Structure 1
Amino acid sequence: MPEFQYKCNNCERIALRWEGKCSSCGEWGSLEETPVSSDVKFSFGFDNPQPTIELSKIYDKEDSRYKFFSPELNMVFGGGLVPGSVTLIAGDPGVGKSTLLLKISSQICSENNKVAYISGEESGSQLKSRSKRLGISGNGMYVLETSDINYILNQLDGLKPKTVVIDSVNTLYDDSVESPQGSINQLKSSVSRITHWAKSKNTPVILIGHVTKVGDIAGPRVLEHMVDTVMYMESERLGINRILRCIKNRFGSTNEIAIFTMDKNGLNDLEDPSKAFLSDINSNHVGSSMIIALHGTRPIIVEIQALTSKSYSPVPRRISTGVDLDRILLLTTVVNRKLGLNVASQDLIVNVTGGFKVSETAGDLGISMAIISSLLNEPLKSHLAIIGEVGLAGEIRQVPYMGKRISDATKLGFKRLLLPNHGVKDIADVDLKAIELIKVDNIYDAATTIFDSKILNSDKQGK
């Protein structure tokens, strides 16, 4: 048996020989030499073994979710905060993580509950100053200025809070672990202990985390597996909108987002999220289209902008912000082949306004129309929204939740909707008198219906 082994400090994979790149998580230079000990100790999530219980008789903690003051937060958390859950919220410095957690703490305290706010970065006076700016009294909120996990757990046992907030998880340390503060071993040990405490006390814990330069959560990948929920808080550069995006949730959907606006009073729910991503539905800008994207169960209307320009490079550039680049390449190929428009010689830039990201294929037709608009230098018709997936044969495919999308478009004042011919099924509750449905079978029909260009009308090969 070898005396040494190599352990990845990111995902904890064990290798018998050194590797420059971990074959499990892909991290470079993460394998460290560790001695092999015959005295192996196993650690489990719960110290006290419990007898077997029939599943139907186990108490469902989700039935007692705590409802937030914010419908947006309730949506992204899957209906509220689950007792005993551990949530990690990460984001860039200054994006509003601490502000959000202070407002959450304030609401919980307003219902005669205790909240323990563990601050390893800011002093109590700094938190007091921030809370005054936000109009938070702080009654019932107990601040603990320390990073020592042993002292923290000891104080929590005596305080018995309703909720615990730790700002931030990256500052925690366990003096029983022989490694410097902020190291991977310290982080794993501290999070493991606070997670075990949360489960045993049935108390929710919310952790604030840092991100790296490339946008990943700072710390080992195993950290994301240890917690129940992982969320990212994002913002536009110099913008006022904030998006809380869920990427892991053991108690709900990972497709939901919460959208807030930042002002002097902190973060507030955005009353009409669609308007945050639109400029003006009356405007007729070349290369601009409105699509109805579904994020989780919420339809949000966003603006797609496309710009084409003759390329003087052997390989024309393709730049995409907010849309998968591979999807853009697919759509440009379909436009080139089915409409006879020369996209191959053009530089192409596609952008989603407002910092939104379109991940579903329902935006295909709108993206294609924006690209065609820029190529023809002809704007789309005003008050027009677009829904539809584009196939490789140029056909327009149906998308789910058509009724929700049409209702949202009608509420925002759109008069026309371009959509698949065979996708109008679940719209029984939609008032069709307020909006004109333009049904098309393929991308050629869509382009010739929307644009008046003679170039398209003279080219019948696309059909």
Structure 2
Amino acid sequence: MAKKERSIHTCSECGYSSPKWLGRCPECGSWGTLELGQTQPATSTVTSLTPRSPAVPITQVSATTSAAVTTGIGELDRVLGQGIIPGSVVLLAGEPGVGKSTLLLEVAAGWARQGRTALYVTAEESAGQVRLRAERTGAVIDTLYLAAESNLDVVFGHVEQLNPSLLIVDSVQTMSASGVEGVSGGVAQSRAVTAALTTLAKTRGLPVLLVGHVTKDGNVAGPRVLEHLVDVVLNFEGDRHTSLRMLRGIKNRFGATDEVGCFEQQSDGIHEVPDPSGLFLSHREDTPDGTAVMVSMDGVRPILAEVQALMVKTTAKNPRRAVTGLDSTRVPMVLAVLMARAGHDTSDRDAYVATVGGMKIFEPASDLAVALATASAIKGIPLPPQTVVIGEVGLAGEIRRVPNLRRRLQEAARLGYTRAIVPDGERVEIPGMKVTYIKDIASALAEVKLGS
């Protein structure tokens, strides 16, 4: 007697499965995304399988097989931990045009320059298009192989023939697996392709780098199961109006997820920026009014940033507050504290507050820089040269402590800054730097001679 089968409904957004149709997915909350999929038997028989290899004591497992291999790109190795782990699967996501393909092509070229074989599979572009990009970025190397394929079975055939030590697939949403229903990029196909590539990586000890698309919300496109299958998820982000690109770790089974890699996109490719602070500072001999320098923490990386403020008289009933690169909800609060606790009237002025170089700062440690830059713009008096200011401003006018103060000041001292104004509390001694501790906004303004 044939076994009774039941229908399975699968969410097209996250891959959640349900035996019955639901209007809203319980996993991701999307409406109308559960679709009828393949049926499966209502009952199953449990059978025992003979393992391929016996279990061994952990003391007999070699750790050298999981040693990281450097890619030749220091900023990428920083985010990955120390490099690429053999047998790992890395998913690189980012918006269209941000430079994902260019970055991975340079990774493949750096891998090939070390005498290793790399296979770059492109399913979105032709081989000629990739060759032109390789000529522009200097990635034409004999041990870098290129295949324009979208069929996963053919890709596996290339791997068997070449036996590469690195495989790059661009992109996972455009690959298709035979015998699996659905179109490329769909839930079933994306899950099957990623699962097959993950199995290939683990069985052969082959590191695999995948390119992933993102949705309009900035999340990895396709079912969330992709992020669970892979070992590392990286997000490559950047502003269309600037050349700066930031590589952030979202998931990393082999290292921390708070590291950040900095890159700059140029006409001849994407170049790493080991010292990004110079991109966010205006190098002038004299310091103009309305400018303050602070040290921001991007993950565990300290980066110096410049905050600029411009205060313009207005006749409008409601003065304008234009904010770029900062938290648009905190800047008006800092201006209100500056007026109520320090006597600097900003009610009749339009305020334009921005960062330099496309830097984005959303941590409260930038409050003091915003306050002093605004007061400097109102008074027309610049802050003392070679001075950094760090601190969170409270509604009572107090200056609150911020984390990683020592690391911030060490980075400022390395770049030649000799004076720092920081919250009172943690005492830090930095060679060659005078550190001034303040308790409230009025003391900070008095320290730089901007008091009311």
TM-score, structure 2 length as denominator?
0.86
Query: What does residue 279 of structure 1 align with?
Result: 282
Query: Which of 72, 77, 82 does residue 75 from structure 2 map onto?
Result: 72
Aligned to 2:194: 191
Give the Cα–Cα distance (whole angstroms) in 1 for the partners of residues 308 and 419 of structure 2: 19
Output the CA distance in 2 between the equivalents of 1:163 and 1:402.
40
Q: Deviations over 1:132-184 (max 9, x none)?
A: 22222321112121111122123213322111011111211112111122222
Letter in 2 for 1:438: T
Structure 1 residues 369 and 54: CA distance shift in structure 2, 3 A: farther
Shift of 1:352: 3.0
Q: Is the 8 A contact 1:83 1:202 kept in 2?
A: yes
Residue 385 (structure 2) pairs with residue 382 (structure 1): yes
Structure 2 residue corresponding to 1:406, chosen from 396, 406, 409: 409
Among 243, 248, 252, the alignment partner of 2:251 is: 248
Question: 1: CA distance between counterparts of 2:447 and 2:371?
Answer: 14
Hey, what's the Cα distance between the residues in 2 that align with 1:253 and 1:283? Answer: 40
Unaligned runs of 5+ in 1: 457-463
> Match for residue 208 of structure 2?
205
Counterpart secondary structure, 1:304: strand
CA pair 91-62 structure 1, distance change in 2 beyond 3 A = farther
Whether 1:93 aligns to 2:91 is: no
123 and 280 in structure 1: CA distance in 2 versus 1, 3 angstrom threshold = same
Is 1:439 aligned with 2:437?
yes
* Aligned-pair CA distance for 1:109: 1.3
Question: Where do residues 37-48 of structure 1 align in structure 2 (5 Å cutoff)?
Answer: 37-39=40-42
CA distance in 1, matches of 2:330, 2:187: 37
Q: 1:128 aligns with which of 122, 126, 131?
A: 131
What is the match of residue 461 of structure 1? none
Displacement of 1:196 in angstroms is: 1.6
Q: Which residue of 1 aligns with 2:114?
A: 111
Amino acid paired to 2:238: S
Task: Give the Cα–Cα distance (whole angstroms) in 1 for the partners of residues 53 and 415 of structure 2.
Answer: 55
SS of the counterpart of 1:354? coil
Relative distance call for 1:61 and 1:86 in structure 2 (3 A) is: farther
- Aligned residue for 1:422, secondary structure, equals coil
3-state SS, counterpart of residue 363 of structure 1: helix
Relative to structure 1, is the Cα distance of residues 342 and 36 closer, same or farther in structure 2, using a 3 angstrom cutoff? farther
Matched, 1:150 2:153: yes
Distance 1:352 1:245, change over 3 A: farther
The answer on whether the counterparts of 2:8 and 2:40 sit within 8 Å (CA) in structure 1 is no
Q: Is 1:396 equivalent to 2:399 in the alignment?
A: yes
> Residues 3 and 103 (structure 1 numbering): CA distance in 2 closer, same or farther, change over 3 Å?
closer
1:333-412 to 2 correspondences below 5 Å? 334-341=337-344, 350-374=353-377, 378-412=381-415
Q: Given the superposition, is the C-alpha separation of residues 452 and 296 from structure 1 closer, same or farther in structure 2, using an over 3 Å criterion?
A: closer
Q: Which residue of 1 aligns with 2:448?
A: 450
Distance 2:385 2:16 in 1: 56
Alpha-carbon distance change, 55 to 403 in structure 1, aligned in 2, over 3 angstroms: same
Distance 1:62 1:447 in 2: 58
Q: Is the 8 A contact 2:232 2:253 kept in 1?
A: yes
- Per-residue CA shift, 1:400-447, capped at 9, x if unaligned? 44333223222323232111232233x4xx322xx3322212222112
Q: In 2, Cα distance between the equivalents of 1:378 and 1:19?
A: 64
Give, in angstroms, the shift of residue 5 of structure 1. Answer: 5.7
Q: State which drifts further: 263-272 or 108-117.
A: 263-272
Give the residue type in structure 2 aligned to 1:191.
Answer: T
CA distance in 1 between counterparts of 2:145 and 2:286 reads 52
**Candidates 11, 20, 30, aligned match of 1:27:** 30
RMSD of Structure 2 on Structure 1 (CA) = 3.3
Q: Is the 8 A contact 2:102 2:270 kept in 1?
A: yes
The one-letter code sitting in structure 2 at the alignment partner of 1:444 is A
Q: CA deviation at 1:254?
A: 1.5
User: 1:221 is matched with which residue: 209, 217, 224?
Assistant: 224
- The count of aligned residue pairs is 445
Q: Residue 303 of structure 1 is aligned with which of 306, 315, 323? A: 306
Quick one: distance in 1 between partners of 2:148 and 2:352? Answer: 48
Q: Percent identity?
A: 34
Pick which of 1-10 and 129-138 moved more. Answer: 1-10
The answer for the alignment partner of 1:459 in structure 2 is none
Question: What's the counterpart of residue 168 of structure 1?
Answer: 171
User: Would the aligned equivalents of 2:6 and 2:19 in 1 still touch at CA under 8 Å?
Assistant: no
In the aligned structure 2, how far is the partner of 1:240 from the partner of 1:5?
47
Find the residue that maps to 1:177 and give its secondary structure: coil
Structure 1 residue 200: deviation in Å?
A: 1.7
- TM-score normalised per structure 1: 0.84
Q: CA deviation at 1:308?
A: 5.5
- Structure 1 counterpart of 2:13, which letter? N
After TM superposition, the structure 1 stretch with the greater mean CA deviation from structure 2, 25-34 or 185-194, is: 25-34
